[in-house]
Amino acid sequence: MTDTTPNSLPPKEETKSGPAIEVGHSPHLYNGSFTSQRMMIDVLIALLPVIGMAVYVFKLFAVIQLGICLGACLLAEAGFARMRGRVLPLWDGSAAVTGIILGLSLPATAPWYVGVIASVVAIGIGKAIFGGLGMNLFNPAMVGRAFVMIAFAGVMAASGYESAMAGIDALTQATPLNAFKQMGIITPLKDLFFGLTNGSLGETSALACLIGGLYLCIRRTASWEIPAGLVAVVIVMGGLADLIGPPSDWTVLHHLCSGSLLFGAFFIATDPVSSPLTAKGKLIFGAGVGFFIMLLRFFSGYPEGVMFAVLLMNALTPLINRWTIPKAMGER
């Protein structure tokens, strides 16, 4: 779940010359109380456990990184709205959600300019260039993160997560996925579950992600079908790897609790604009994200695969929507 509203809830925008014609996307039936602002508030509430754990583990580093991304996204949103001659759209909370999720997806010690550039790219290229709120094809936060990961490979690579001078124990060790992939070191499952490990700010604690994610599903702000499909495929592929692969203490539970898998399942893949509209389509989408995550973890040089998996499935969302159009009553 990130910073946009479903296609069924188009934003109301005004130009400087007056109200614009409002053109809505089908379906046209919706709950009037289910506004984009309410959805963004729900996401921010759900992110509180994740933010709290990030601050607990990474201290001031987390506060600074989140502040940079939040502030840069708000400024970028205002700047691009002014360039397009639109009223200031900050009231809906979408830019704030993008900033927080983007900050939580970055390393604690990433330089300030990484967060600023990622934020501008997320709002400008990830959202504004497609027409603004509710019109984007790709998840804005992941667009920004992908850009800085390619542009600043040195500070976003495995070594960019480690800092012996930070004075924080978590930052002196490799991330769990990288430690396993490069050195065969198995991080204890309890540390992965509670979040006492290194990694991006929001990915360390599986427990915090589960608490926030379940809140989103109960509130129906996030569709449960997407994380369910994702987790189911990870369990199947991870379980098969345990059965047919060489004996290892790294199990399917380690796959589920490590990296940004649960953070991505509940807060990123469930973006209602860049994910399918139908329940069947959402299951397919979630399963596809889970499949690509495990494929990248097993066979690529990257220890993690959530960002690439989400962006790949975002590109397939229009096709999935076409495949899963429900039949009209009486149609054969």
* DSSP H or E segment with residue 151: helix 140-151
Q: pLDDT for 269-299, tens place per residue?
A: 999 999 999 999 999 999 999 999 999 999 9
**What pLDDT, on a 0 to 100 scale, did the predictor assign at position 5?**
45
Q: Which of 32-46, 70-84, 237-251 has the highest mean pLDDT?
A: 70-84
Q: Does residue 24 lie in a domain region? A: no
| 148: CATH | 1.10.3430
Q: Which two tokens stand for residue 247?
A: 């004996």
Q: Which residue has the tokens 């592929």?
A: 237
Percent of the chain residues topping a pLDDT of 70: 88
Q: Does residue 142 lie in a domain region? A: yes
Residues 106/68, Cβ–Cβ less than 8 Å: no
Q: Does residue 27 lie in a domain region? A: no
Residue 9 has pLDDT above 60, yes or no: no
Q: Does residue 325 lie in a domain region? A: no
Q: What is the four-CA torsion angle of 293, 295, 296, 300, rounded to 10 degrees?
A: 170
* DSSP H or E segment with residue 15: strand 14-15
**What pLDDT, on a 0 to 100 scale, did the predictor assign at position 87?**
76
**What pLDDT, on a 0 to 100 scale, did the predictor assign at position 7?**
46
The band of 8, judged by pLDDT with boundaries at 50, 70 and 90, is very low
Q: Does residue 225 lie in a domain region? A: yes
Distance CA 93, CA 264 (A): 20
Tell me what the mean pLDDT of segment 181-185 comes to: 83
Domain limits at 273? 34-318
Distance CA 174, CA 119 (A): 26
Residue 65 has pLDDT above 50, yes or no: yes
Residue 25 has pLDDT above 80, yes or no: no
Model pTM?
A: 0.86
**What pLDDT, on a 0 to 100 scale, did the predictor assign at position 153?**
87
Q: Does residue 6 lie in a domain region? A: no
Q: Does residue 17 lie in a domain region? A: no
Q: pLDDT for 75-113, tens place per residue?
A: 999 999 888 887 777 778 899 999 999 999 999 999 999
DSSP state of 161: G
Residue 18 has pLDDT above 60, yes or no: no
Tell me what the mean pLDDT of segment 314-328 comes to: 89
For the ranges 88-97, 118-127, 132-141, the lowest mean pLDDT is seen at 88-97
DSSP string, 189-234: HHHHHHT-S-SBTTTS-HHHHHHHHHHHHHTTSS-THHHHHHHHHH
Q: Does residue 332 lie in a domain region? A: no
- Count of structural domains, the chain: 1
